[in-house]
Amino acid sequence: MGRLTVETSILIAQEPCKVCQSRLGLGVSNMKLRPIEGKVKRLYNADYAKNYRVSDSDEYGSPSFNEYRNILQYYTSINETNQVLDLGCGTGRYFSCLENTIYLLGIDISLPMLLEAKKPISKDKITITQIDLLCASIFGLHLPSGKFDMVYSFGVLGEHSPFTSEICEAVFNTLKANGIFFFTVVDIDSKRIKRSLKRRMIDLIYPICPAAIQNMIDAGISHYMTFEKLENIMVNSSFREFDITRRVENSHGWSGAHFNCIAKKKE
């Protein structure tokens, strides 16, 4: 059984962070939050985190949960041992879905969410040997090369934060050979957002804008994506094997569709 009371630690990334560097192999820099990250951090306060943790019970066993659980279990059951990274782990909803996992690093920008993750749903079913929970922005971290067998991220990239080529390459670099990247982004068309000429122009120029301008754009627009934009990032990434599917969801106050992407780092 996972020894959550003893082995789960919560670390707060800051510069310099000796524990992050020595224990986790992470480099930390430029930890000043982007405007959109500050917005997300304010949203996921203690009250929100407690309510979100309660909602885990509603989501447990739902069609989307079952699909994600089955995929996580399948890929982590292939290896005898796994080291796994959960980007935007929230309250630890999927911790119990991991098989043969000796180490899990969960990263989230919200400390209240991580505090709830110390008592995740189905805690008695968790078999992970050691869990570290890191309060940090993924944009300020330098992930170690070739460390993880699997990276997953649900309801974060292409939703609360942008999914970019830089993020994609960082994940590719931190995966071991044959490692798996499983993540979701929201299908912008499913949310019935009218993509005006202004929004289409922003999407076009965003990649070439200076960081300061990108931050301003990030703070003011949705990070939802079209299939074409997601596919373009993946085609131009270092991943040579990936599959994108679309899942329509309508449960617990959220309706729309996600693109589910599974990418493999080929040997």
For residue 256, the surrounding DSSP H or E stretch is strand 254-264
How many domains does the chain contain in total? 1
pLDDT of amino acid 244: 98
The residues facing 9 across adjacent strands are 132
Cβ-count burial 171-186 (b if 16+ within 10 Å, e if not)? bbebbbeebbbbbbbb
Which DSSP string do the residues of 149-196 spell out, in sequence order? EEEEESSSBTTTB---HHHHHHHHHHEEEEEEEEEEEEBGGGGT----
Q: Is residue 212 in a domain?
A: no
Q: Is residue 211 in a domain?
A: no
Q: Is residue 218 in a domain?
A: no
Q: Is residue 163 in a domain?
A: yes
Query: Which carries the bigger pLDDT value, residue 141 or residue 86?
Result: 86
Dihedral in degrees, nearest 10, Cα atoms 68, 74, 76, 78 = -170
112: exposed, middle or buried (Cβ count in 10 Å: 0-12, 13-18, 19+): buried
Query: Which carries the bigger pLDDT value, residue 43 or residue 68?
Result: 68
Q: Does residue 184 register a pLDDT over 90?
A: yes
Q: Is residue 42 in a domain?
A: yes
Q: Region 114-118: what's the mean pLDDT? A: 93
Q: How confident is the model at residue 241 (pLDDT cuts 50, 70, 90)?
A: very high
Q: Is residue 156 in a domain?
A: yes
Separation between Cα atoms, residue 173 and residue 147, nearest integer Å: 9
Q: How confident is the model at residue 14 (pLDDT cuts 50, 70, 90)?
A: low
Separation between Cα atoms, residue 178 and residue 239, nearest integer Å: 11
pLDDT of amino acid 113: 94
Q: Is residue 185 in a domain?
A: yes
pLDDT of amino acid 136: 86
Q: Is residue 204 in a domain?
A: no
Lowest-pLDDT choice from 37-51, 65-79, 193-207, 232-246:
193-207
Q: How confident is the model at residue 29 (pLDDT cuts 50, 70, 90)?
A: low
pLDDT of amino acid 127: 93
Q: How confident is the model at residue 3 (pLDDT cuts 50, 70, 90)?
A: very low
Tell me which residue range forms the domain holding 33.
4-192+223-264
Query: Which carries the bigger pLDDT value, residue 266 or residue 190?
Result: 266
Q: Does residue 83 register a pLDDT over 80?
A: yes
Lowest-pLDDT choice from 44-58, 141-155, 241-255:
241-255
Domain holding 56: CATH number?
Answer: 3.40.50.150
